[in-house]
């Protein structure tokens, strides 16, 4: 736990003090890489003694087996030491999974998945989902080219908060 705590602490410090992605990655390589190196030494030592020791031995073996993939974290500023963001994004979907039984068909389930993905991406890019969906529904009929569609993606769009001007009037 102490290795992981140190990695998290250094990650938070670097994120708070870095002025650019390149600066952040240089700091991560300089200050977090040695923590990973020491952690791997510790894991290797424990692996020799804990190979057949139940769950702990399994966890150590699993971590060492995927070590090269774990180190990809050091190469990308978007990655974090854990997958909490993804887990938190999926949690509402998982909690509502019994509701998905009522999608009506495979196409209905696919549509639900599509809408859920739009909403979670809007949240990821700090957009209010209601405002983002309203904007999409208003602009989609006018999207003709690939460029038009690209402009509607949550990382390309700028929204102002929606202001309700009153009830819809239906003639």
Within 10 Å of residue 23's Cβ, how many Cβ atoms? 13
Confidence of residue 162 (pLDDT cuts 50, 70, 90): low
Asked if residue 169 has pLDDT above 70, the reply is no
3-state secondary structure of 169: coil
Confidence of residue 171 (pLDDT cuts 50, 70, 90): very low
- Predicted local distance difference test score (pLDDT) of residue 109: 81
Contacts 24+ apart (CB under 8 A), 4-10: 4/81, 6/35, 7/32, 7/35, 7/36, 7/39, 7/81, 8/81, 10/35
Average pLDDT over residues 38-65: 86
- Predicted local distance difference test score (pLDDT) of residue 161: 67
Higher pLDDT, residue 160 or 128:
128
pTM, rounded to two decimals = 0.57
Mean pLDDT over all residues of the chain? 85
Asked if residue 26 has pLDDT above 70, the reply is yes
- Predicted local distance difference test score (pLDDT) of residue 68: 92
- Predicted local distance difference test score (pLDDT) of residue 51: 66
Asked if residue 170 has pLDDT above 70, the reply is no
- Predicted local distance difference test score (pLDDT) of residue 27: 92
DSSP 56-118: HHHHHHHHHHTHHHHGGGGG-TT--SS-HHHHHHHHHHHHTGGGGGGS-SHHHHHHHHHHHHH
Confidence of residue 164 (pLDDT cuts 50, 70, 90): low
As a whole number of angstroms, the distance between CA 89 and CA 54 comes to: 32
- Predicted local distance difference test score (pLDDT) of residue 167: 56
């Amino acid at each position: 736990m102490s290795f992981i705590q140190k990695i998290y602490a250094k990650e938070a410090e670097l994120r708070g003090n870095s002025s650019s992605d390149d600066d952040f990655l240089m700091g991560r390589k300089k200050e977090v890489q040695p923590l990973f190196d020491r952690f791997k030494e510790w894991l290797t030592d424990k692996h020799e003694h804990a190979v057949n020791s139940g769950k702990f031995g399994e966890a150590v073996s699993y971590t060492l087996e995927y070590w090269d993939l774990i180190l990809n974290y050091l190469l990308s500023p978007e990655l974090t030491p854990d997958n909490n963001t993804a887990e938190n994004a999926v949690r509402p979907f998982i909690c509502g999974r019994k509701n998905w039984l009522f999608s009506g068909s495979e196409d209905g389930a696919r549509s639900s998945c599509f809408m859920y993905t739009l909403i979670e991406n809007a949240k990821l890019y700090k957009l209010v989902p209601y405002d983002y969906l309203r904007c999409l529904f208003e602009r989609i009929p006018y999207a003709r080219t690939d460029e038009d569609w690209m402009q509607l993606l949550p990382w390309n769009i700028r929204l102002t908060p929606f202001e309700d001007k009153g009830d819809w009037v239906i003639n």
